[in-house]
Amino acid sequence: MGGLLSYLPCKDVGPLRPTTGCTRPDGKAWADVVVKIGGSACTKKATFETLNDVALSAICGQLATLPKEGFSLAVVHGAGSFGHQHAKEYGVSKGAEKAMALSERLREGFAKTRLSVTTLNKHVITALLKEGLPAVSMSPCPFVETSAKKLVGGRLAPSTVDGTRGLLGRGFVPVVHGDAVLDESQGVAILSGDVWMVELCRELGAKSAVFVTDVDGVFTKPPWESGAQLVPEILVDPSGELELKGVSMDTASHDVTGGLKAKLESAAAVLIGAPSVQAVYIVKSGSNAAAQARLNVLPEGVLGTREVFIHEIAE
């Protein structure tokens, strides 16, 4: 049975722009759905720079039917086994003490990380094109910068938003990825694909967000371990903290973007920060749940996790 994850609203959700402009001139969303192909759904995370061809092909095949059914989409993908190892080894996420004083080693690590993530991006674009989707890469660096690891100004720059909408308005499928980017405070940093999920959902007026993984939703512990159960509900208290009793938050040693807890917080941030989003789905690549979630549906009895936002809570 699918799990239903509910969220209590946080009081401090950061600066919000007016939602005007998040729809096309005809009132439709710029993108009906924003899909995050997680690192585990496009790579074999335990093996350095190795594609998960089966999972990637499966989700691309499912996404390819959306335009034929009248839905527009934008795609984000994680790095998986491409990028994380270099970023960890060279300390790219930590950056330097001074923005303009990068060590030779840090510059090398930054360059290797970018080469790795853009190589994966080429594979993802190729897989989408193979299925007939007019996918166009949007590589963040050097056009999207951070300051102390946060987006400058807390939001995507208007030029980035306009460019994304321009692609969608012409019938393309924009594809963005987690990346090594320039940082005003520490020289360089890592900008996670999960941040892009929040921003694109908000700026494109998406009705739903889908996080595609290699498992059937959120479990109390790795689903291959004995006793693992699909989590029926997760709450976010007014301070923004996730209530995750009994859920293992172990993070792979090479994952520099924060692991499961960070990803669940990003899913909650989508619901809080993107008023147009009705639900967030966490599903397995190629599954029936993935096929249904892309249409903003997760029927009873289908394995998967659906997150919904409770808009009104008594003080």
The verdict on whether residue 273 carries a ligand-binding annotation is: no
The amino acid occupying position 182 is L
Which among 95, 116, 201 has a CA at the least distance from the CA of 156?
201
Residue 302 tokens read as: 């289908």
Which among 64, 59, 79, 5 has a CA at the least distance from the CA of 214?
59
The verdict on whether residue 259 carries a ligand-binding annotation is: yes
| Locus of tokens 């193979």 | 130
Phi, psi (deg, nearest 5) at residue 135: -75, 135
The verdict on whether residue 214 carries a ligand-binding annotation is: yes
Half-sphere exposure of 199 (CA within 13 A, CB side): 25
The verdict on whether residue 263 carries a ligand-binding annotation is: yes
The verdict on whether residue 84 carries a ligand-binding annotation is: yes
CB 295 within 8 A of CB 284: no
The verdict on whether residue 169 carries a ligand-binding annotation is: no
C-alpha distance from residue 113 to each of 80, 122, 145, 178, 296 (Å) = 12, 14, 16, 11, 34
The verdict on whether residue 11 carries a ligand-binding annotation is: no
The verdict on whether residue 36 carries a ligand-binding annotation is: yes
From first CA to last CA, the distance across the chain in angstroms is 32
Residues in the annotated binding site: 36-40, 79-80, 84, 193, 214, 259, 263
Residues in the annotated binding site for substrate: 79, 84, 193
Residues in the annotated binding site for ATP: 36-40, 80, 214, 259, 263
